[in-house]
Amino acid sequence: MTQPTTSREWHLIARPEGWPDPERDFALREAEVAQPGEGQILVQNLHLSVDPYMRGRMSAAKSYVEPFELGKPMLGGAVGRVIASKAEGFAEGDHVLHHLGWREYATVNAKSAVKVDPQAAPLTTYLGVLGMPGLTAYAGLLRVAEFKEGDTVFVSGAAGAVGSQVGQIAKLKGAARVIGSAGSDEKVRTLVEEYGFDAAFNYKNGPVAEQLQKAAPDGIDVYFDNVGGDHLEAAIASINLHGRIAVCGMISQYNATQPTPAPRNLAQIIAKRFRMEGLLVGDHYDLQPKFVEEVSAWVRSGELKYRETTVTGIENAVDAFLGLLRGENTGKMLVTLPE
């Protein structure tokens, strides 16, 4: 194909205060496409990932990953087609996974790109069920939360890309009972009827603690936290002796401008001797081969189901990200770019 000379890309131009403002905080700009140098490839992005962790990178606060630079293109997972290569092992027409998302074309150092096979699985799955969210679910449940057969598991944000896999993996590994929370009655039905959760509830329909206690009258052994706040407080109230909590995210607090009160019952960690540990997927990439082997087999057999919510067009990427924060997605939220 004719190599492009310009590419549209999203820049962060102001640090959001509270909810990000699409007009104030972001700008879609046109930039010159850098031709690949030695060891580089030029990629036409086909699918972009938007993820909750990106909200943290929009802040200047010190964290586990560098913040996005103001006036520079943002970063994120992407899958695309190689249209020019000056790197050994990569040829025009190859498909790759890389981290220079939020733009139409990317000049990528080949060392930071991974070839993916569209014949083995749809390209979008490498950003979702077989990608970073999937590995997060797999490592968080099996390693961080030390899931054991017969455990009762509670997952918040259970209809999202990570939570939906946590619940299904728990069932496939022999959980006694899996409970999920979600933000709509439709998502609750999906959890039970499609993903095989034993119970689920809409956290908007009443106090989380009461709904969880009703769904898990004998308590829970594992809590996979994507939400924080009242969900974490409810899980602590219901957790059994020597339970385990894997904290993947606290999306309820990402746009808060004041400190949030919950959980107010953390002192129960003494009597119940439960363990709570934070989860960063970057610590667990040694599990990648085993994860891909096991989960891809479940996907092929139909034992593990997944959904994707797709928004089309680079111009709609910020709207897709804000929709993710509002819980408008079921499964993985993706931005697809027309070829």
DSSP letters, 102-136, are SBSEEEEEGGG-EEE-TTTS-GGGGGTTTSHHHHH
CA pair distance 244, 219, nearest whole angstrom: 12
Cβ 51 vs Cβ 133: under 8 Å: yes
Give tens-digit pLDDT for 60-69: 988 878 999 9
Q: Is the pTM of this model over 0.85?
A: yes
Closest by CA position to 177, among listed 153, 148, 211, 141: 153
**Is residue 173's pLDDT more than 80?**
yes
Q: Is 84 helix (H, G, I), strand (E, B) or coil?
A: strand
* Contacts for 121 with CB less than 8 Å, ≥ 6 apart: 130, 296, 299
CA pair distance 153, 145, nearest whole angstrom: 10
Cβ 70 vs Cβ 12: under 8 Å: yes
In terms of residues, how long is the chain? 339
CA pair distance 75, 95, nearest whole angstrom: 19
Give tens-digit pLDDT for 182-191: 999 999 999 9
Q: Is 315 helix (H, G, I), strand (E, B) or coil?
A: helix
Residue 1 pLDDT level (bands cut at 50, 70, 90): low
The predicted model gives 46-54 an average pLDDT of 95
**Is residue 255's pLDDT more than 80?**
no
Closest by CA position to 239, among listed 256, 253, 225: 225
pLDDT > 90: what percent of the chain?
89
Which domains are seen in the chain, by residue range?
6-128+306-336 (3.90.180.10), 135-282 (3.40.50.720)
Closest by CA position to 16, among listed 52, 59, 53: 59
The predicted model gives 170-186 an average pLDDT of 97
Question: Residue 92: what pLDDT?
Answer: 97
Beta bridge partners of 7: 31
Give tens-digit pLDDT for 288-314: 989 989 999 999 999 999 999 999 999
What type of residue sits at position 17? Answer: E
Question: Residue 22: what pLDDT?
Answer: 96
Question: Residue 61: what pLDDT?
Answer: 85
